[in-house]
Amino acid sequence: MADTVFVLNGPNLNLLGLREPEIYGSDTLDDIAGRLEDQGRELGLQIDMRQSNHEGHLIDWLHEANALPAKAVILNSGAFTHTSIALYDAIKAIKVPVIEVHLSNPHTRESFRHKSFVGMAAKGTVAGFGALSYTLALDAAAKL
């Protein structure tokens, strides 16, 4: 599984394409998954794309990625980014590198979005490039 990259998506990301397209764009999560799978094939990587609205699922999947071990985790934890010490702890507890990803740039938005517990624990962050943020993060993951 060392050639597998987990792409984990948190709350409300199942609504991409419908939810506030002026902020998050018109691409759906399935659109993004398709592009990542194509890109992954070119890079010799398998993509394991998942989404949950439940914090515990994201934590369990981080543990699973570590146990395999996966090559990397790309994590868009949505609003949990700004609230979840549990995700921070889970990332700190594993050896697999985690790349935080965001469609929008949280630093240009409401002040409560400026703090990222995930970012404090992650290897790096890609934000503000819409769906391209995911492909940039996969490029980075391939080079780790």
pLDDT digits (tens, 9 = 90+) for 26-58: 799 999 999 999 999 999 999 999 999 999 999
Q: Could you state, in order of their start, the residue ranges of all structural domains in the chain?
A: 4-143
Angle at 123 between CA 143 and CA 68, to 5 degrees: 70
Active-site option among 102, 107, 114, 134: 102
Would the pLDDT of 24 be above 90? no
User: Residue 111, Cβ neighbours under 10 Å: how many?
Assistant: 8
Of 118, 124, 116, nearest in space to 140 by CA: 124
- What's the CATH number of domain 4-143, 3.90.950.20, 3.20.20.450, 3.40.50.9100, 3.40.50.300? 3.40.50.9100
Residue 30, C-beta contacts closer than 8 angstroms, at least 6 positions apart:
none
Active-site option among 24, 63, 107, 134: 24
pTM for the whole thing?
0.91
pLDDT digits (tens, 9 = 90+) for 73-94: 999 999 999 889 999 999 999 9
User: Is 88 assigned a catalytic role?
Assistant: no
Q: Are 61 and 90 in contact (CB under 8 A)?
A: no
pLDDT digits (tens, 9 = 90+) for 112-136: 666 889 999 999 999 999 999 999 9
Determine the pLDDT at residue 127: 94
